[in-house]
Amino acid sequence: MGTGQVTEANPYDMALAQYDGAVKHLALKRGIEDYLRVPKRELTVNFPVRMDDHTVKIFTGYRVHHSTARGPTKGGIRYHPGVTLDEVRALAMWMTWKCAVLNLPYGGAKGGVVCDPKRLSLQELENLTRRYATEISVLMSPEGDIPAPDVNTTPQIMAWIMDTYSMHRGYPVPAVVTGKPVPVGGSLGRAEATGRGVMVSTREALAQLNLPLRGARVAVQGFGNVGSVSAGLLHAAGARVVAVSDSRGGTRHPEGLDPRALVRHKRESGRLDDYPGGESITNEGLLASDCDVLIPAALEQQITAANAERVRARLVVEGANGPTTPEADAILAARGVLVVPDILANAGGVVVSYFEWVQDLQAFFWSEEEINERLERLMVRAFLEVGATARDKGVDLRTAALVRAIERVAEAIMILGIYP
């Protein structure tokens, strides 16, 4: 889903720069400020996987816990050739803030395996997943650390993780992982949750700008689970999807594209840039599209100091984690572009993961209508709270979201105290 461009900063440095900018607006004790700058624990695993040709290949994986002050750690697992420990550290920190912004009883975690899943057979993918799950099971539990899907991981992969953990325990433990298929304890509405949250954030932000959602021109970078669902829901609400892209390029049409037709075309041809109803564009071209709303929903560090001046959207809603660098943030702010930050905009996934975990723990499941209603309520409440903090402190939405999150985590640490 990425663009293949050279990233301009270490993602963990980026997360720390955002954090340092936000804590200036808080009167934290120095010890707490330092404590929250670093992950609580980090696990690196190197493990063998039997390949289809009977050779054994060694893979490297990570699981990082940033904070446990507000509850068990929660965070996805990504499979990608570009996974690094610093990337996972950054993503774990962002998960802490995301859970705190939405007031969920979780701390932040993240995991990853350095691999290209597109080059693995289904059997190799299962072997890799089960072995990685076994290696990180020293940290996993429904009470301690609950993984979820992220880039290139699927409900099927979550089912393998759950089954592997359950085999070690001797009984089914559905609450150990979220984002599972519905027949094995998954939640209705989970697959669309992140995209639905992006749609709600877009709607609320447009209202704040006094712009109508109906007819708003939307460009989406990263037409995977998050991007395609966001595009589909916005299209259904009356917005005009004028451009979409994935890692191979994309397509645009000023009169609008039908996201459902695009999903079908991508499933059949494996590409978007050859869509017959549009004009081929690059990922860079998509970011500079003539649109009202830009949704970067691919990988981190896509909007940078090198291209932020070319962004023509009035509103950027971050479907991906960390798609905008701090340098780009400053450029966009100076140009009057409103940015809805990742830790607010794409939190729908972790909200419904929380609902899934609660349902699994009590073995009592809700309807899809209930799920979507509760998700909407939490997203709107968080958006209004962050907006109020931004106005109160005279800061942008990212800083406001971080301020609210850091405040909540710091408060939990102060109440708990330092052991022993």
Q: What confidence tens digit (pLDDT) does each residue in 352-387 have?
A: 999 999 999 999 999 999 999 999 999 999 999 999
Average the pLDDT over 326-345 and give the result: 95
List, in order of start, the domains of the chain with CATH numbers. Answer: 39-178 (3.40.50.10860), 192-345 (3.40.50.720)
The residue with greater pLDDT, 7 or 259, is 259
Active site residue 57: no
Q: For position 8, what pLDDT does the model report?
A: 53
Closest CA to 75 of 52, 105, 99, 58: 99
Q: For residue 329, what pLDDT band results from cuts at 50, 70 and 90?
A: very high
DSSP three-state, residue 419: coil
CA distance 231 to 271: 17
Average the pLDDT over 172-176 and give the result: 98
Q: For position 276, what pLDDT does the model report?
A: 87
Both tokens assigned to 207: 């209202």
CB 63 within 8 A of CB 150: no
Closest CA to 111 of 159, 164, 41, 173: 41
Which one is catalytic: 40, 98, 110, 266?
A: 110
Asked if the peptide bond before residue 420 counts as cis, ω within 30 degrees of 0, the response is yes
CA angle (81, 83, 85) in 5-degree steps: 150
CA distance 36 to 19: 9
Rounded to two decimals, what is the model's pTM? 0.93
> Phi and psi of 12, rounded to 5°?
-70, -40
Q: What confidence tens digit (pLDDT) does each residue in 226-242 have?
A: 999 999 999 999 999 99
Q: What confidence tens digit (pLDDT) does each residue in 400-415 have?
A: 999 999 999 999 999 9
CA distance 301 to 202: 20
